[in-house]
Amino acid sequence: MSRLYDLMLLIDSSAPDDRQKAIVGEVEGLLSGGGTIAGSYDWGSRKIAFEIDHRPEAAYQLFQFEGDNALLDRLNHNLKIMDGVLRFRIIRQGPNAPPVPPSPEPIRAQRPDEPDVGRVAARAAADAPAEQDEAQAEPAPAEPAPAEPAETETETETEAEAPAAVAVAEPDVAEPDAAEPAPEPEK
């Protein structure tokens, strides 16, 4: 029994154009060999929501076709092992399915003489907090601790022989009194 399906194909946009065209040609050959192609729509290269195999962009291709289960099995097998195909999805269309949405507006290619304002502004914004963090992260110069007068000669001699130490604040921890016994653990 032949049914209507949509095939959304994400092709590696970093692949050469002739390889991308070869992939589309192979898929069209598979579809026409076991079914009929109702429509083929090139949606162009777009940024994807998350990276697939460290690739931030993919070329989108939408096919509408009629076919049977044998065609779906062949498509599934061939698309899984085909080089250059990042992802694909085959969706069965119901009898009251909406029409194919128009292809999205193509992303305007940037001219070589045009400055990359968006990237510069984003980079400047990314660097600005880092500069503030660095200024806050720099330690303040250590102030020498005020010298306390020595009460006896032995303390003065010991302090003179010892190297200068950095004053370390000890946390306020109450030491248990020797007069109070420690509570026994319950059994």
Instruction: Give the chain as a 3 state SS string.
Output: CCEEEEEEEEEECCCCHHHHHHHHHHHHHHHHHHCEEEEEEEEEEEEEEEEECCEEEEEEEEEEEEECHHHHHHHHHHHHHCCCEEEEEEEECCCCCCCCCCCCCCCCCCCCCCCCHHHHHHHHHHHHHHHHHHHHHCCCCCCCCCCCCCCCHHHHHHHHHCCCCCCCCCCCCCCCCCCCCCCCCCC
How confident is the model at residue 125, as a pLDDT?
A: 59
Highest mean pLDDT among 13-22, 139-148, 156-165: 13-22
Q: What is the pLDDT of residues 41-91, one digit of tens each?
A: 998 898 988 888 888 999 999 999 999 999 999 999 999 999 999 999 999
Confidence of residue 173 (pLDDT cuts 50, 70, 90): low
Task: Please check whether residue 43 lies inside any domain of the structure.
Answer: yes
How confident is the model at residue 68, as a pLDDT?
A: 92
Strand pairing report for 55-67 and 3-12: antiparallel
What CATH number does the domain containing 69 carry?
3.30.70.60
Task: Please check whether residue 53 lies inside any domain of the structure.
Answer: yes
Q: What is the pLDDT of residues 78-130, one digit of tens each?
A: 999 999 999 999 999 988 877 776 666 655 555 556 555 555 555 555 566 55
**Number of structural domains, the chain?**
1
The size of the chain, in residues, is 187
Euclidean distance between CA atoms 16 and 58, whole angstroms: 12
How confident is the model at residue 130, as a pLDDT?
A: 52
CB of 87 within 8 A of CB of 48?
A: no
Task: Please check whether residue 183 lies inside any domain of the structure.
Answer: no
Q: Which domain holds residue 61?
A: 3-12+23-92
Burial environment of residue 162 by CB neighbours within 10 A (0 to 12, 13 to 18, 19 or more): exposed
Task: Please check whether residue 116 lies inside any domain of the structure.
Answer: no
How confident is the model at residue 128, as a pLDDT?
A: 61
Task: Please check whether residue 181 lies inside any domain of the structure.
Answer: no
Euclidean distance between CA atoms 36 and 32, whole angstroms: 5
Euclidean distance between CA atoms 13 and 22, whole angstroms: 13
Euclidean distance between CA atoms 43 and 37, whole angstroms: 17
Provide the whole-model pTM. Answer: 0.53
Reading the block at residue 141, the tokens are 């110069």
Euclidean distance between CA atoms 90 and 62, whole angstroms: 10
Task: Please check whether residue 182 lies inside any domain of the structure.
Answer: no
How confident is the model at residue 50, as a pLDDT?
A: 87
How confident is the model at residue 7, as a pLDDT?
A: 94
Euclidean distance between CA atoms 28 and 32, whole angstroms: 6
Task: Please check whether residue 175 lies inside any domain of the structure.
Answer: no
Q: What is the pLDDT of residues 19-32, one digit of tens each?
A: 999 999 999 999 99
Highest mean pLDDT among 54-63, 148-157, 172-181: 54-63
